[in-house]
Structure 1
Amino acid sequence: MKGMLGRIVGMASVLALSANMAAAEGKLSLYNWGEYINPEIVDEFSKEYGVEVTLDTYSTNEEMLARIQAGASGYDLVWPSVHMHDIMQQLGLLQPANPNQMPGWENIDKAALRSHEDPNGDYCLPYAWGAVGVLYNKTLIPELTSWKQFFEYAKANPGKVTMLDDLRETLGVGLIMTGASVNSRDPDEVAKAEAYIMEQKPNIGAFRYDVIPLVTAGDVAAGHYYVGGVLNVLQNPELLGFVIPEEGATMYQEDVCLLANAPNPDNAKLFLQFLMRPEVAARNSERLTNGVVNTAAVDLLPDALKSNPSINPTAEVRAKLQIFEDLGKDLRLYTRAWDRIKTN
């Protein structure tokens, strides 16, 4: 009886949402990573449903969490990475959006349900995934294949490479290069990763995110960067390249989550349903050049994306990609290490 009642309630929720689609109005406030959604689909949603959409951006998971915890209100949807999704759900900052009860859920690759706290998709919608590798200028480095080569070039040309201003990503490279997991909780392993990055620091031009213009102009030869940089590679393939280093790399996945204090939850849920349309997911992925979690969208992608080894790497390369997990109190090991790297 309980199971049947649950199904009836779930069906009623879907029907109610569908019935409100034509009459949607009001506002929707998005809080997302910079340039991490195709603005055309945001405009399309706004026009189709008569909803005024605003978008604010952040640079790191930690920046977003700090702002939400500090009392920032008015946001409906956020895009945390999977480990931050887990943290926010544990902290009671999210509410169930039930995307798994919406039309379109059947197209979501269930392998993308990576959250430990939300294994069935009751809270958040898997959004996109990708590797974090190196964007490089081919006139300065004709071919780049490894982290070893990246750091050797930096040693010979101090200041001509950059790394991300992100404690998990950059220490993650140190952990990979010293043979440890990017989720290590072992103080000795984290210390070795810190020492490795510290050794490279004199040759690193900066820890920063905004590297695409610098690499394109040749001001730096290579930058530690997200696979989204492939969009620039496709636009300028003679000048730019992107590689997932052969030693391995980190990968990311973001989910779209409904905040517990969202002022426009109905419009937020409507937007999640809109994102699950295959044609919308394909157009979004084409703009972002990320891996697709919507299986029905894959056939709608241009061949240049479907066959790109950075966007859709081989099984052998995928096996070397590591995704971050929530470290709980052990994150302090990383925070202290990062503080020492940044200040020394």
Structure 2
Amino acid sequence: MMRTTARKIALLLVVFALAACARQAPPVTFHADGMPGKLSDWSVVVSDGATLRLNAGVVPYDLNSALFSDYAHKLRTIWMPNGVAAKYDADAAFDFPVGTIISKTFYFPLPDAQWDGKSVARVDPAGSDLVGEKLDLSKVRLIETRLLVRREAGWIALPYVWNDAQTDAKLERIGAIVPLELVDAADARTEISYQVPDQNQCGSCHNTDNLARVLQPIGPKARHLNRDFDYTDGRANQLAKLAQAGYLTGAPQPAAAPRAADWHDAGAPLDARARAYLDINCGHCHSAKGPANTSGLMLDVHAQPGIHMGWCKQPVAAGKGTGDRLFDIKPGDAAGSVVVYRMDSDDPAVMMPEIGRSTAHREAVKLVGDWIDAQQGACN
């Protein structure tokens, strides 16, 4: 009797093991050319409809201050083939090797226990729903995953939109509009048209150098990555973790690397918080080399207070976007500054950034407004 029971237990263990193997996802696949039609063709993130998890070798990361996208939360990851690594740069995006796949999955927490087809929670996007490097899909709604893939000819951007079952995402090269209803803590509801960018729109942001005219990553820079993250094997600095994983070479100790402020951190100086927000949200265009350099308004980390940073600078070719304000930044007067007016608008002919959002970031408008109001000086 005991032998029979033992055999049954052994048989069950074998069955369970085989089932587990059957469910195991294939390894990450780098496609050197072409445009795979499904996100699962890459096998970077894996979903069974109940849980979204990272595949083996895929390293998650976050940013000290992040780009705003209609209050969407984001799961960011990096994967590289064996034997190659990115080269550290103290200022620019790291020099990533051919074969690198950077992913960014956009999702929203659910305000109720069940997805009703449109309602998502409007909560601080800096909060993470990642537990053990997994997302519980009963609590969130996946919208899209964007891939940046480093091929021999350079970077390519691929936008994938998740299906209703949250089991896979389909390539949408022409982008998509996803109707959503943002629900805040007071149950106030705002309808938005969430925009998944097309490939050209991806390029309009990721083309950070007007002369080079090639796509580049925006977030993976030392100052944005220099922070701690809760990995499955414990909390660690992200730069140190990437080096430990063999994904980064030449990085100094984190204490010697630059670090952007977390704009949410009320304990940090107001100037550092506002500058960090403007750097990540505006600086990739409004820089000396960026697509918006003809505006004369520089909002990246290198800009110095003065006319090139908007101080008492009259806007160039902004048209309706000025709101009849005379200066990009009017020290001591946020309400009289073009920058705040455009941040606070959801009019496509006015708002900045001009793509990537359909609603204003209330908290950031207040932050930048407080920063401008605190500035000294007069525009004569």
TM-score bracket for this pair, using the shorter chain length: under 0.3
Larger radius of gyration: 2
TM-score (norm 2): 0.24
Q: Relative contact order, CA 8 A, sep 6+: which one is greater?
A: 1
TM-score (norm 1): 0.25
Q: Which has the higher strand share?
A: 2
Q: Which has the higher helix share?
A: 1
